[in-house]
Amino acid sequence: MNARAAPRPAPARTRPSQLAVHESFLAHRGYLWARVAALVAAGAGLLYALDSPWPRPNGGTALGYGLGTVAAGLIVWLSLLGIRKRRFTDGQWSLKAWVSAHVWLGLALAVVATLHSGFQFGWNVHTLAWALLMGVILSGVWGVILYVRLPRLLSDNRATASERAMAVELADNDRALEAAARPLADREAALVKAAIASPAVGAGLAERLAGRVAQCGTAAALGAIGPSDPALAPLRQLLEVRAALLARIRTNACLKTWLQFWLLVHVPLTLALLAALLAHIVSVFFYW
């Protein structure tokens, strides 16, 4: 009698926590905060449409004060993300949940604050606060695009190499170029020396954002040492390897600099908004 075949084990079930590992902060908990933000914006719009005196509700009406209070509270709460990012926790208020709420409620804030203004703008501190708020929100949208796209671009650019590994590879290439340049004529040796001495990344903000170096010694050496001389083929190959490695290093620095540059825009705008918000509130109650 043939032995019965052992039953095949059932495939292991994937835990919900495992499914959420790669979940975007925008889609956190099934777009929970997107739905909350949509309700906030829709509720503010409905109250504004039903409010009297129509058609010119403004910040001085009961609804205007209510919407202004909600907007001010959201501004202060959303500004706390910088403090929250330094505390790593899990669960309902993990960093991912906080960022998701920050993004979606920030978009809803644009609706609430605009309805609070009653579309009455002028050359005053109230309009300044609204304009700074719109600037913060627009820069926040820019930041979301960066944080969604750049991590993948950084990973693709580095491939399997870390920043440290690329630095080690560049140092190895320097030593190989130095050894290859010793028996060369003065002209070629000087070109190699200039290539090694030139910076890997740009010194200024503009060069880092562009991912290039204005006077790259490696590019100059490749341009001067053509492929026509077979004796210089090994040297040119080393320079080509160096050029490809420098391109990856500069692209990596470029992408990271864009994130830093975004912070240089978003954070000062947020601080200016908080100052303008305080001036707006004080002026409203001073002249009330």
User: What's the pLDDT score for residue 19?
Assistant: 41
Q: Is residue 48 part of a domain?
A: yes
Q: Is residue 265 part of a domain?
A: no
Judged by average pLDDT, the poorest of 10-24, 112-126, 242-256 is 10-24
DSSP for 166-198, written as a single string:
HHHHHHHHHHHHHHHHTTS-HHHHHHHHHHHHS
Which element (helix H / strand E) includes 7? none
Residues 105 and 241 in one domain: no
| 13 DSSP assignment | P
The residue to which tokens 């913060």 are assigned: 136
Segment 99-114 shows an average pLDDT of 93
| 228 DSSP assignment | T
User: What's the pLDDT score for residue 89?
Assistant: 47
Segment 223-236 shows an average pLDDT of 83
Residues 120 and 93 in one domain: yes
Degrees to nearest 5, angle at CA 101 with 99 and 103:
70
Q: pLDDT grade, residue 234 (50/70/90)?
A: confident
Residues 111 and 73 in one domain: yes
Residues 168 and 146 in one domain: no
* The pair of three-digit structure tokens given for residue 248, joined into one six-digit string: 């990856």
Range of the domain at 66: 27-155+276-286
In this predicted model, what pLDDT tens digit does every residue of 184-215 receive, in sequence order? 888 888 999 999 998 888 888 888 888 888 88
pLDDT at 218 over 70: yes
Residues 173 and 55 in one domain: no
Residue 100: count of CB within 10 angstroms of its CB: 24
pLDDT at 174 over 60: yes
Q: Is residue 14 part of a domain?
A: no
Residue 75: count of CB within 10 angstroms of its CB: 20
Nearest by Cα to 159 from 83, 274, 244:
244
Which element (helix H / strand E) includes 248? helix 233-286
Residues 135 and 64 in one domain: yes
What is the maximum alpha-carbon separation in the chain? Answer: 99
Please tell me the total count of domains within the chain: 2
Residues 147 and 172 in one domain: no
Length in residues, the chain:
288
pLDDT at 235 over 80: yes
pLDDT at 56 over 80: no
Segment 136-159 shows an average pLDDT of 88
Residues 69 and 170 in one domain: no
User: What's the pLDDT score for residue 181?
Assistant: 86
Q: Is 61 helix (H, G, I), strand (E, B) or coil?
A: coil
Residues 31 and 127 in one domain: yes
Residues 144 and 64 in one domain: yes
* The pair of three-digit structure tokens given for residue 230, joined into one six-digit string: 């077979």
- From CA 196, how far away is CA 216, in angstroms rounded? 10
Q: Give residues with Cβ within 8 angstroms of 112, minimum separation 6.
A: 40, 41, 44, 67, 70, 71, 74
Q: Is residue 7 part of a domain?
A: no
Residues 204 and 107 in one domain: no
User: What's the pLDDT score for residue 57?
Assistant: 66
- From CA 41, how far away is CA 288, in angstroms rounded? 27
Q: Is residue 103 part of a domain?
A: yes
Q: Is residue 115 part of a domain?
A: yes
pTM of the model: 0.76
Backbone conformation region of residue 215, classed left if phi is above 0, alpha if psi is from -120 to 50, else beta? beta
Residues 72 and 129 in one domain: yes
Q: For the chain, what is the mean pLDDT?
A: 83
- From CA 79, how far away is CA 85, in angstroms rounded? 11
Query: Rounded to the nearest 10 degrees, how much is the dihedral formed by the CA atoms of 48, 52, 55, 61?
Result: -70
pLDDT at 7 over 70: no
- CA-based torsion, 66, 72, 75, 80: positive or negative: negative
Q: pLDDT grade, residue 26 (50/70/90)?
A: confident
